Structure 1
Amino acid sequence: MAHDGLIKRLQAGISTLPAGLLVATLYAIACWATRQISLDQFFLPSGVRVAVLLASPMRMWPYLLLGEYAYFAELRLPLVGTYGLNWVLLSSVYQFPVVALIVYLHRRAIPGRTDAWLLTIAAAAALAIGVGNLALMRILWPSPLPGDVAVVAARFVIGHYMAIITVAPLAALLTRRIAPSGWSAWLYPPSAACLVVMLMTGYGIALLPAGHSDERAGLQLLMAAPVILLTCIHGWRGAAVGVPLMNLIVHFTTPVTGLPGSFDAATFRAQQGLALVSTSLIALGSITSHYRRRLNISLQDRSQAMRLAKSSFLASEKDLRARAQRMRHIVDHIDFALNQTVEWLQEQGHKQFASSVLKAISISSRNFREQASLVYPIPLEQVGLYLALQGCGISEAWHKTGRVSCEHFSGDPCLLSTGLQLAAYRAITEAVSLLLEHESGQLQIRARCGRRPHLQGIVMTVKVLNLPTGLAPRTAEIAIQNLTARANTYGGRLQCHRNTIRLLLVETRGSSSVTNQCM
């Protein structure tokens, strides 16, 4: 069993050997090429190291280590005679394993809620490599290191840190599966304008004469403004594009001696500010994206809850409709049977008795049909919400109280879906019932339907007249408890203001709900 597992691992290792050697070669070439265009204050190979560790699976890390050692062999073996073999070996061996360990420890945080883990990787790697290299130089170099140690340490650490936060965000961004629609926003005028402003500023910096170091530093810091705007628009993705672009423009517009390890004091002062700005923007973008994701999830959950509430409401209304239809069928059969009885009585000469029976039948039938319409307002599907409120059984029940008046109905409710009209019907009848029970005085019902480019809905108010003190706190509390769910089902809201209950129900135009076909 163990023997079979060993064989499988060997076969897997052999199968990945060509790809691994290719990766090692490309990585060594990338480190060597970026070393040629690097400065002590902006050391690109450190950024390449972290980027490939983030982008590569762990099975490729041994090959990356091989490529790193090949790069250091080409770079530092010629320096053995100058700085000693111990420094060449020790300063070359420890860097990749230390950074790999830092990235490995952050692996659990990479798919987490925020993207701030990239900053801790950059800070830890920059400190470990920058301070480690300086310590080995101090200990192992035959001659003392020139310059103030603190200044050199700051230069090394900031150089590694700036390179990491320049290259690593791009690697983290490219490894994510982002739909093409996610990049379409970059074509909008605000994003495109930010990118153009940055490129034009970089071109202006490149055209400045060599003696204008203060103007160059000012323009370099000015490039942070469009990056801030990109971060506000796109969150972490905007920072992951804007910060590297800004740092690369600063790097390529920095005066150099033409030799690796060049240093420009004026640009270094600007880079210290840019390091702080870059860190703040990546942190801000991470936080912004985190809360945007939470907001999107919340909106999706709310939308899903609204869909489920609508489905539940429509299912219950469908059941009530079937029940009301059965009640109407029952009363139709009873009317038919009683009418036959009346005809038989008339044929037998009991005309006065037949007349009294017919009168009782009509009263009972009307009352029964009114009760059936209270179960489900079937006429609403033919005549719309307004006429259903004024002509169904509910209007008769309100009329008997002598306290309810329906007026100021405006708009065409037949443009709304049946589901929305049913929700409005249930909400307004429940509000009227609540106020009839808990408040005194006349009630006035108003409603207005309206449409906007993408929405349509209805606003309903039930007002208690001659109530200067407003609704009782208990009444308002019951109204909020009983009616808020109905308002939320259709994305609306409920307000209890002074002596009025106001309800808004909305839906998107072209909703999938069944559209009411008013006659």
Structure 2
Amino acid sequence: MLPFGLRFAVLLVTPLRQWPWLLGGELVATALVDLHTVHRGWDWLTFLAGDLPVPLTVAAVLAILRRASLRASLRTPEDTTRLFLSIVLAIAATAAVEATTLSLIHQVAVSDMIWNWLGQQMLDHYVGTLLVAPLVVMLARARPSPRALAALLMDGMLVMLPTIALLLMLARHGAPQPQLARVLALAPVLFFAFRHGWRGASLALSITSLTLATVDHSLGRPVETFSHLFLAIAGTGALMLGSACDALRRTSVRLAEQNRRLEAANRRLDRLTRQLRQAARGNLQSEENLRRHLAAELHDEFGQNIAAIQTRLKLVEGRLRSAGIDDLGTSIHAILVHMRRVLHRVMDDLRPAVLDEFGLFRALEEGPIRELLHAAGMQYTCQLHGDARLLDEETGNTIYRLVQESATNAVRHAGAGSFRFRLRIGRRHGAVLALLDIRDDGVGLPEPLPRGGRGLQGMRDRVLALGGLFTVRRESAGTHLRILLVGQPPPSWQRGRD
């Protein structure tokens, strides 16, 4: 059984340039053995017809297969399958050459007895290659690490030795069913295939075959074809199973490594996201501070100057009347009133005083947004739920700006007759949630949605800066915005209160 497998395995792992030396050495050794054992002299016909074709056939088949990307590897199930198919092809080619040689030498057709002999030879060659080739590949190309070798030895003492002892005990007492011993011997092979891959399966298979041969020899039983067939099937399945287990372990390791890399990348992205959100919050705060500063400057400078001009105009009304140019004073007064109204509107757009004086809810209910919509002849409906004191300043300012921008868009572009929104504020798991639902019954949004300007994109940027969600929904009439903002309660608020 073993010489064919040893020849196949050595040629498989050896470079092609060394094959002539290996084949030549084998043929010389075979000739010397034949010369020593044959008493009637050298038989050239027997050497040429019996000993020479098999090594050359195996070498030719392996050379073709290696050029067709055959590798000395059981690393993956695909490699293992290709190796098994290569073994079958080499054995089949050898059997065909032997059958042809026999028919040519003896000048007779190949009988059933010869076919049975060839079939037994093929099975023996397959079992021998199955026992030897994985071990040679392991020693030449895939030696186990010291840690894996220590685990193999430990499991060998814990699993293989008790199994061998049990088989020998069954053999000594004459087990009624020899097949039971073979099935029992298969258990450690499968265990080693699961635990140690194809390396463990090949070692366990070799030890198991040696144990079964010892049992058969101790009981005086002849070697049956069933024993070799059992080894062929069990060995093929165990090596395929071990190769698949190795591939799964490598895949698991790669996935774990990729998961670690993804987790590290996600942590970096989370850190960058937090930094970007902090920067965006800082920009929003700077913008609000700038708006507040500009509103204060306009109020202090332009507002006071307009008031001073109006006061002085009242002081000179008598002189203008006596001079007959009181109409000039009236026109100047009208201009100043218009300037004051425009100034108030600009200041409300920058930073409405009601937002600082009375808070978010009152600013939404009674502030400039209502005045803007009523001046445009639109119906204004607002529903406010929750406690605005839960919101930090940035979130409150963002809510006001979102409603203000939506109302401005409805007045300027939508041609709507009504504008309504609903605001709900509450706490969930230590965070403050603000859900804003804004609707109008205007002409709706264009297709595709606009991405630039200071409209929807500016609103979306404000929401994303606070880590919220911004959703635009098209409806049969009008526009529907749903916005979720998540913030932390201000330090002054009692955190235990709902």
2:136 alignment partner AA: A
- 2: distance between equivalents of 1:235 and 1:398? 65
1:89 matched to 2:48? The reply is yes
| 1:166 CA displacement | 0.8
Residue 187 of structure 1 corresponds to which residue in structure 2?
Answer: 151
2:8 alignment partner AA: V
1:162 matched to 2:127? The reply is yes
Residue 249 of structure 1 corresponds to which residue in structure 2?
Answer: 211
Contact 1:405–1:445 (Cα < 8 Å) also in 2: no
1:265 alignment partner AA: P
1:421-452: CA deviations, max 9, x gaps?
Answer: xxx9899843x7368989x99x99999xxxxx
1:329 alignment partner AA: S
Residue 6 of structure 2 corresponds to which residue in structure 1?
Answer: 48
Residues paired across the two proteins, number: 363
- 1: distance between equivalents of 2:253 and 2:97? 44
Residue 269 of structure 1 corresponds to which residue in structure 2?
Answer: 226
Residue 70 of structure 2 corresponds to which residue in structure 1?
Answer: 109
Residue 471 of structure 2 corresponds to which residue in structure 1?
Answer: 433
- 2: distance between equivalents of 1:91 and 1:389? 97
Contact 2:4–2:125 (Cα < 8 Å) also in 1: yes
Cα distance change of structure 1 residues 362 and 157 upon mapping to structure 2, 3 Å threshold = same
Q: TM-score, normalised by structure 2?
A: 0.55
Q: Which runs of 5+ in 1 are unaligned?
A: 1-42, 258-262, 371-385, 413-423, 448-519
1:272 alignment partner AA: L
Contact 2:131–2:205 (Cα < 8 Å) also in 1: yes
Of structures 1 and 2, the larger Rg is shown by 2
Aligned match of 2:17 in 45, 56, 59?
A: 59
Residue 492 of structure 2 corresponds to which residue in structure 1?
Answer: none
Secondary structure (helix, strand or coil) at the match of 2:429 reads: strand
Contact 1:130–1:160 (Cα < 8 Å) also in 2: no
Contact 2:192–2:200 (Cα < 8 Å) also in 1: yes
| 1:168 CA displacement | 0.7
Cα distance change of structure 1 residues 180 and 76 upon mapping to structure 2, 3 Å threshold = same
- 2: distance between equivalents of 1:210 and 1:320? 79
Listed as ranges, the matches of 1:12-161 within 5 Å are 43-81=1-39, 84-107=43-66, 108-110=69-71, 113-129=78-94, 132=97, 148-161=113-126
| 1:65 CA displacement | 1.2
Aligned match of 2:236 in 279, 282, 289?
A: 279
Cα distance change of structure 1 residues 84 and 175 upon mapping to structure 2, 3 Å threshold = closer
Contact 2:285–2:394 (Cα < 8 Å) also in 1: no
1:75 alignment partner AA: V
| 1:164 CA displacement | 0.4
Residue 509 of structure 1 corresponds to which residue in structure 2?
Answer: none
2:185 alignment partner AA: M
1:104-160: CA deviations, max 9, x gaps?
Answer: 333203278432122122223334445655775787699xx9x95454333322221
Contact 1:406–1:445 (Cα < 8 Å) also in 2: no
- 2: distance between equivalents of 1:199 and 1:131? 41
Secondary structure (helix, strand or coil) at the match of 2:79 reads: coil
- 2: distance between equivalents of 1:332 and 1:408? 30
Contact 1:239–1:282 (Cα < 8 Å) also in 2: yes
Residue 231 of structure 1 corresponds to which residue in structure 2?
Answer: 193
Aligned match of 1:197 in 145, 149, 159?
A: 159
Contact 2:295–2:351 (Cα < 8 Å) also in 1: no
| 1:338 CA displacement | 4.3
| 1:295 CA displacement | 7.0
| 1:61 CA displacement | 1.4
Identity of aligned residues (%): 17
- 2: distance between equivalents of 1:345 and 1:123? 99
Contact 1:221–1:270 (Cα < 8 Å) also in 2: no
- 2: distance between equivalents of 1:275 and 1:426? 67
2:187 alignment partner AA: A
Residue 491 of structure 1 corresponds to which residue in structure 2?
Answer: none
Secondary structure (helix, strand or coil) at the match of 1:265 reads: coil
1:238-294: CA deviations, max 9, x gaps?
Answer: 53443333334334544189xxxxx95355422222212222333344455556666
